[in-house]
Amino acid sequence: MAKTVVVVFSDPKAGGEDALGRLLNALFLTIELKDKQQDVTLIFQGAGSRWPAELTKPEHAAHALYNAVKDTAIACGGCADAFGAESGELAGIKYVRERAIPGTTGVIDLSKYLDDGARLITF
């Protein structure tokens, strides 16, 4: 079975049902694949790198679901820096800076997942 990469671009600061709906659907898919013991990675990219800090709050509607899948999650470090997200340690996940891109502190290399035949699904 191919690896699946679930990428969250939605911005929690956008507010509204759309941003939350995208996040919830990403978490739903991640837990479904994890429960089936499939190879899945959840990535918070772009403005989506702000989500982990929000999801660590016990009062957040997706807190329990996030805790169930955060062992599969990483976030883009350069994106977190650019969008003012809290550090990975505070959010409970690793912030990755594996590819040097001018003007950033380093980003996740999504192309490597494609090179490995992974499916990228974005929310």
- Residue 18: CA atoms inside 13 Å, Cβ hemisphere, count? 5
Q: What is the pLDDT of residues 58-80, one digit of tens each?
A: 999 999 999 999 999 999 999 99
pLDDT band at 103 (very low <50, low <70, confident <90, very high): confident
Q: What is the pTM of this model?
A: 0.94
Burial 91-108 (b: 16+ CB within 10 A, else e): bebebbbeeeeeeeebbb
Q: Does domain 4-122 have CATH number 3.40.1260.10?
A: yes
Contact 30, 74 (CB under 8 A): no
The CA-to-CA distance between both ends of the chain, in Å, stands at: 22
Distance CA 98, CA 94 (A): 12
- Please report, for the chain, the start and end positions of each structural domain, with discontinuous segments joined by +: 4-122
